[in-house]
Amino acid sequence: MEIAIIKYNAGNVQSVQYALERLGYNATVTDDYAAIQRADKVIFPGVGNAYSAMESLKEKNLDEVIKQLTQPVLGICVGMQLMCNHSEENNTTGLCIIDLNVKKFITEDKKYKVPQMGWNNIYNLSSPLFEGVKENSFVYYVHSFFAEYGKETIAISDYIIPYSAVIQKNNFYGVQFHTEKSAEVGDKILLNFLNLK
């Protein structure tokens, strides 16, 4: 199986690559259009600022390449957020693959800190992506922005409000949490993604 991890200036590519190696898979980190289009599975990671990440994709014309992919694609963290229509982070227009918007966590409640950092549970799991994953399993988050809940939501987390932990439209999947830092649950979700037809 050929796995491509999209290389651009905002990807946490090494930790994703190590997670795949731990599971027994080799992945190519690449910004080569042909290699990305040819891959059986594509992983679209991201950390940091949505606006600068989007600008980096545009510079390499990877925004257009990603939109045209027909194989399973997994966006992680900022990669997931960029699949959406718009992010409040620096007023960023996304790839408009998934019809959701990304908002900033806002609260006056002192018990909530922004960014959300640490473990939180996911529930309402409704996809082959969660084969063998129990309701209310815990995954690892670091984020100040979230995709709102909508019809493309296939798993939910609560922090201040319920939001999209995992989204899907056609062959595009996105997880807000870091699969590569989410222990056995993250590994299982990554394996399930690799096994998608």
Q: Which phi and psi angles does 20 have, rounded to 5°?
A: -65, -40
* pTM for the predicted model, two decimal places: 0.96
Q: Which residues contact residue 32 at a Cβ distance below 8 angstroms, ignoring those fewer than 6 apart? A: none
pLDDT band per the 50, 70, 90 thresholds, residue 51: very high
Q: Is 96 noted as a catalytic residue in this protein?
A: no
Q: Is 180 noted as a catalytic residue in this protein?
A: yes
pLDDT tens digit sequence for 92-119:
999 999 999 999 999 999 999 999 999 9
Q: Please, are residues 77 and 176 in contact by the beta-carbon 8 Å criterion?
A: yes
Tell whether the model's pLDDT for residue 16 goes beyond 80: yes
Q: Among all chains, which residue has been given the structure tokens 């491509």?
A: 4
Catalytic position from the list 2, 77, 108, 135:
77
pLDDT at 132: 97
Q: Which residues contact residue 100 at a Cβ distance below 8 angstroms, ignoring those fewer than 6 apart? A: 84, 85, 147, 148, 150, 152, 153, 164, 167
CATH number at residue 185: 3.40.50.880
- Tell me: cis bond preceding 115? Omega within 30 of 0 counts: yes
pLDDT tens digit sequence for 148-183:
999 999 999 999 999 999 999 999 999 999 999 999
Q: Which domain holds residue 149?
A: 3-194
pLDDT tens digit sequence for 64-86:
999 999 999 999 999 999 999 99
* Local structure of 143: helix, strand or coil: strand
Other CB atoms within a 10 A radius of the CB of residue 91 amount to 9
Q: Which residues contact residue 144 at a Cβ distance below 8 angstroms, ignoring those fewer than 6 apart? A: 89, 104, 105, 114, 115, 116
pLDDT tens digit sequence for 26-45:
999 999 999 999 999 999 99
pLDDT at 130: 98
The total number of structural domains in the chain stands at 1
pLDDT band per the 50, 70, 90 thresholds, residue 10: confident
List Cα–Cα distances, 147 to 25, 105, 183, in angstroms.
29, 10, 23
pLDDT at 58: 96
Burial of 173 (0-12, 13-18, 19+ CB in 10 A): buried
**Tokens in use for 37?**
């289009």
pLDDT at 25: 97
Other CB atoms within a 10 A radius of the CB of residue 61 amount to 11
Catalytic position from the list 84, 143, 152, 180:
180
pLDDT at 100: 98
Catalytic position from the list 89, 143, 152, 178:
178
pLDDT at 9: 84
Q: Is 178 noted as a catalytic residue in this protein?
A: yes
**C-alpha atoms less than 13 angstroms from C-alpha of 119 in its C-beta half-sphere:** 9
